[in-house]
Amino acid sequence: MGVAKKPVTAKAHTNIALVKYWGKLDETLIIPQNASLSITLDEFYSTTSVLFDDALDADQVTFDDQRLKAGQVTKISHFMDHVRQMAGIKSYAQIVTQNHVPTAAGLASSASGFAALAGAASTAAGLQLDRRALSRLARLGSGSATRSIFGGFAAWQQGHDDETSYGYPIDETPDWDIAIVAVILTTKKKSISSREGMRLSVNTSPFYPAWVETSRVDFETVQKAITERDFETLGHTAEQNAMRMHALTLSADPSFTYFNADSLKTMQLVRELRLQGLQCYFTMDAGPNVKVICRNSDADQIAKALQAVFGTANVRVTHPGPGITINK
């Protein structure tokens, strides 16, 4: 196939984990402590274009219309080194990324970003990867990116090495009554990165071994709920799994949290809506923003209740989204 002569563009969507990935067995290969399961969202995504150029003496990265300085591209260049090694090339690349999602605010921007980069870079380098191989490559940039290769409900098999730790689809086009209401409480970059938060939790929380065991049970429970379209079990288990993950941050040494005051307010509002008879459940990743799992038929009513508190622009109704697309 050979190295592409013009830019290759890939588009990948964020995902929200229903059973969380929180902690690594292998820091280098990003092998997780447990399998995870997510739903890809249609509203939030990243687009990335890649062109290899023999005239460049380093990777050049433009992120949301801003050219990054040399010290800011280290992680991306390290990822690109994997692509170059796989393709047997030495050329540096021109990389242009647009994030249609707040960056580093707990809305899985790194998942969509590295999934899109994996798709664009591998194709531009002349590699013809199937989706499993693409998910393994994306994993080397961001663990959660493994799942953003796929649409709808997707999972990340824990595995034990590079070959066996990969993403796979569960139901890419779910046609049942489900939606996610995203409550964007802040777009500020979080003070503790997911990577550092995981490391602290794994190394210092006395509850970490119990988290791994309960997450394995949660995975089986949610997977079965998807098969049986059991919305209540899916929502309840996802909410419990999220709170157990955040309990690890509170029990770490030093303790920390991704919650802010509005996170707590949102959780309480969701509980109140549930008491009123609306089936809705909250989940949060490593950031203060809250995602509400609900029935699509109730989504507008739930969104309006949240918009009354947090403003119309900060509450978005999303639905299951597609897997990665690559334009050659």
Rounded-to-integer distance, Cα 24 and Cα 144, Å: 12
Contact 134, 302 (CB under 8 A): no
The answer as to whether 282 is a domain residue is yes
Contact 218, 19 (CB under 8 A): yes
The answer as to whether 3 is a domain residue is no
* The residue to which tokens 């890809």 are assigned: 40
Q: Give alpha helix (H) positions in the chain.
A: 74-87, 109-124, 131-139, 145-148, 194-204, 208-228, 231-250, 261-275, 296-310
Contact 27, 2 (CB under 8 A): no
**What's the DSSP call for residue 104?**
T
- 60-63 and 66-67: which strand pairing? antiparallel
The answer as to whether 158 is a domain residue is yes
- What is residue 296's predicted lDDT score, i.e. its pLDDT? 96
| 3-class SS of residue 311 | coil
Number of domains in the chain: 2
Same domain, 220 and 289: yes
- What is residue 108's predicted lDDT score, i.e. its pLDDT? 57
The backbone torsions φ and ψ at residue 30, rounded to the nearest 5 degrees and listed phi first, read: 55, 65
Give pLDDT tens digits for 238-261: 999 999 999 999 999 999 999 999
The answer as to whether 1 is a domain residue is no
Give pLDDT tens digits for 133-181: 999 999 999 999 999 999 999 999 999 999 999 999 999 999 999 999 9
Going from the first residue of the chain to its last (328 residues), give the mean pLDDT of each consecutive group of 10, the final group possibly shorter.
Answer: 93 97 96 98 96 97 93 95 97 96 62 97 98 98 97 98 98 95 88 93 98 98 97 98 98 97 98 97 95 97 98 95 95
Same domain, 76 and 131: yes
Q: Is the omega angle on the peptide bond into residue 102 within 30 degrees of 0, that is, cis? A: no
3-state DSSP helix/strand/coil % of the chain, to nearest 5: 40, 25, 35
The answer as to whether 32 is a domain residue is yes
DSSP states of 110-163 as a string? HHHHHHHHHHHHHHHTT----HHHHHHHHHTT-TTHHHHTS-SEEEE---SSTT
pTM of the full predicted structure? 0.95
The answer as to whether 80 is a domain residue is yes
> For residue 76, what is the domain's CATH number?
3.30.230.10
Strands across the sheet with 179-183, in order? 280-283, 290-294, 179-183, 315-318
- Domain hosting residue 313, numbered range: 179-318
